[in-house]
Every structure is written in C-alpha cells, then in structure tokens.
Amino acid sequence: MLNGLKNAFRVKELRDKILFTIAMLVAYRIGAHVPVPGVPVQGMLGLFGGDDSVAAGAMALLNLFSGGALSYVSVFSLGIMPYITSSIILQMLQSVVPSLHELAREGEVGQTKITQYSRYLTLALAILNSIGYLFLFKSFGINFNGAGAPEIIFDIMIVGTLTAGAMLIMWIGELITQRGIGNGMSLIIFANIMAGLPQAIISSMQGGATGVIITVVIFVVILLVIPLIVFIERGQRRIPVQFAKRVVGRRLMGGQSTYLPIKVNTAGVVPIIFASALLYFPAQLAVFFPGIDWVQAVAGALSSGWLNWILNVVLIVFFAYFYTSMVFNPDDTADNLKKQGGFIPGVRPGKATAAYIKNALNKITLPSAIFLAVIAIVPSIVFSFTNNQLIQSFGGTSILIMVGVVLDTIAKVESQLKMYDYDGFFM
C-alpha cells in the first residue's frame, strides 16, 4: 500500500491529479463552514437539537446529507443532493423518452448534451430547495432582516446564495471527475460522511464506560463487515468465451480461450445513493409546507421507521437492476463477441448469447442487491432502538459508500500507474 502511494506521487501527472482532488475537497469543506450573509447562525443552531418534532427530524436528516453544512447555514447547505436528484431523473427518463435514449447512444456528443440538461435541472431544483429552506426557517420564527433593509432583499440574497452554492458544488464535482482522480460526486459524499465522523464518535462515547464499550463494539463490527463488502465488490462471474480461428493475411489468428467478467455488484454504490436521494426528497418537499401536519407526518414516516426500511429495500433492489441494465447491455456485448469471432461454448451466437448473458446477470444482481439492502437497513433498525449517533452517521450505507468510493478511486489510480509500468496498491 505504501509503495503504491509512493509510486503514485512519483508520476507528475498523477500527483497533480491527486493534489487537485484533495484541494477541491478541502475547498468544499471550507465552504461548508461559510455562513450565508444575513442569517442569524446562533438562532439556527437551536433547530438541530433538543426538538423531537417531525420538522426537527427532517432538519436532522437534511443536515446529515449535507455533511453538517446546514447546521452552519452555510453557502453549501443544499449539498450535492440537487445534482444527484437531477441525475436520477435524467437516467430514468432515458429509458422512457426515445430522444434522450438516442442521445445517450451518440457517445461523447450525446453525453455532453445530457450533462447540460442535468445542469439546468440541478439549477431548477436548487432554486426550489432554497425557497423551501427559506420558508422552513421562517416557520421557526427566524427573521432575516437587518441594517434597515427590506426583508425581501434578504430573502432574495439567501435564495441566491444557497442556489449559487449548490451550483458551485456541482462544478467542483465535475472538475474532480474531469481533472482529478475518481468520481467527483461520490468523493463529495465521502467527504460529507467523514466530516461527521469525529462528532459522532464523541457523541457515542459520552456516558462513561458504557459509551466507550458500545463505540468499541461498533468499530469491531465495522472492521468485520468491511472485508465482506470488499469481497462482494471485487467478486466476478466469469463466463467462458472461445474465439474461432481465422486467417488474417498469411497469419492464423484466434483460437484462444478467455472469459467475460461480470461484476457481482455491477451497480456499485449507486443503488444506495439513488434510494437515499429519493427517500430524502419528501423531506425536501416538506420544507415548503412547515405548517401542514400531514405533510410533515408523511416526510417523517419516509425518513425513518418501518416504512422507510421497506421502501429502502425495494428501491435498492430496483435501482440495482435498473442501473445494471444502464451500464451493461447484453445485446451489445453479444453483438461485439459475434463480430470478433467469439462465442460461449454450447451457446449459439447472437440472441441466444444475449439471453444467456442476461440470465447470468439477473442471477447475480439479485443476491448483490439484497446484500446491499441488508447492509443499509440493519444499522438503521439498530439505531432506532439504541439512538446511537455513531450508528446513524457511520452505518451500513455510509460504510458501503466509503468502501465503494475508496475501491473505485484506488482502481483508477492503479490504472494510471500501469500506464507508467508501476506496481499498484495491491501488487
């Protein structure tokens, strides 16, 4: 591991990408502590503690997903969720809107256009969320005026600042993806989880020896679960492939045997992120109607409790299949094998091969999706009985996202190292 890290910093191009990624994440965390102008921060801090109302519970959930930025009423209070929500909407629309589906198949040009649509949708969602937060803050009796200026001026300034912060987060994420190492959106979520970890540990250890023992037990369980997650993430279903012999010029080509690797968890942590974003969305909508009890009740039920657990399982399984079908097309794979003279022993080329691959994909997607759901739900159930903040902040979903992001980032660094004939982290 240390040799791999040392090799990564020997290559100037790779070193610059790593340092750029770190600099962007540091800038993001600094921005998470810069308050919005005109907001009474001390008055806002009371909204995140000591209140058991449904609205306060929704605020705690929103604060968790923003990495604590909402508790500081910072310019990054909206977090990465508007961008994630817009990505979910556009990816789902690609399967039902023919024009978007055609754009997705046009390669880089089409993807650029879809990214542009995603940015516009992120802007619209950020404006709506900013207005919702403004209404919610006012419902708690927070006044946003001062220096004799009209209140409307402060309202516009707060909405504009929160919207600009969300768009800046989106820009930082895209910059990390393009010029850094790893997926920018995933790394920002990773940074949010890590930011809340120290406070969660301190809160868990309060209560004397009992709190310390509980904290140690939680970390032991986490250390036991991480290897299992890595095993599932690295697992593959290898389908044997045989290439027919063919004559190219005066040379005899082909005839070798290989395999088609299919990841057990093809969708990665995306189902977890998408499911969390959708269940988080009602809490976003609830901020528009702070005085309507039934709206708050629905948001509270979807944010925690047995209904949240059931929907989480259903959504994780659904998005596991949905995203797998988006990133792995059995028909295209079968067509490429046929063009290259490859075939699966005992299976006819073409449609039969596509059906065989699809069947194998479905068989391994279901257990991996159930595994993701169990890891995500069990800590939430335990938290409902223990009320331990460490379990909430560093539960199954957080561990899955963190392990997945780390593995994905390490894989990208290793691929870069191999271009320069260096050993990777696991060599």
- Each residue's pLDDT, cut to its tens digit, for the chain (427 residues) gives 566 667 777 778 888 888 999 999 998 888 888 888 776 665 555 555 544 444 454 565 566 667 677 777 788 888 888 888 888 788 778 777 888 878 877 777 888 888 888 899 999 989 988 887 787 777 666 666 555 667 777 788 888 999 999 999 999 988 998 888 888 888 888 888 887 777 777 777 776 677 788 788 888 888 888 888 888 888 888 888 887 666 555 665 656 777 888 888 888 777 887 787 777 777 667 766 666 777 777 777 777 778 878 888 898 899 888 888 877 888 888 888 887 777 888 888 888 888 888 898 888 888 888 888 888 888 777 777 777 767 766 767 778 778 888 888 888 887 777 776 655 555 5
Q: Which domains does the chain have, with CATH numbers?
A: 2-419 (1.10.3370.10)
SS3 224: helix
The amino acid that residue 304 corresponds to is S
Closest-CA residue to 165 (of 39, 58, 290): 39
Q: What is the pTM of this model?
A: 0.76
Question: Tokens 């392990």 label which residue?
Answer: 403
Rounded CA gap, 283 and 276, in Å?
A: 11
Rounded CA gap, 44 and 68, in Å?
A: 13
Sequence-separated contacts (24+) of 2-8 with Cβ below 8 Å: 3/423, 4/413, 4/414, 4/417, 4/423, 4/424, 4/425, 4/426, 4/427, 5/425, 7/417, 7/422, 7/423, 7/424, 8/413, 8/416, 8/417, 8/422
Contact 327, 311 (CB under 8 A): no
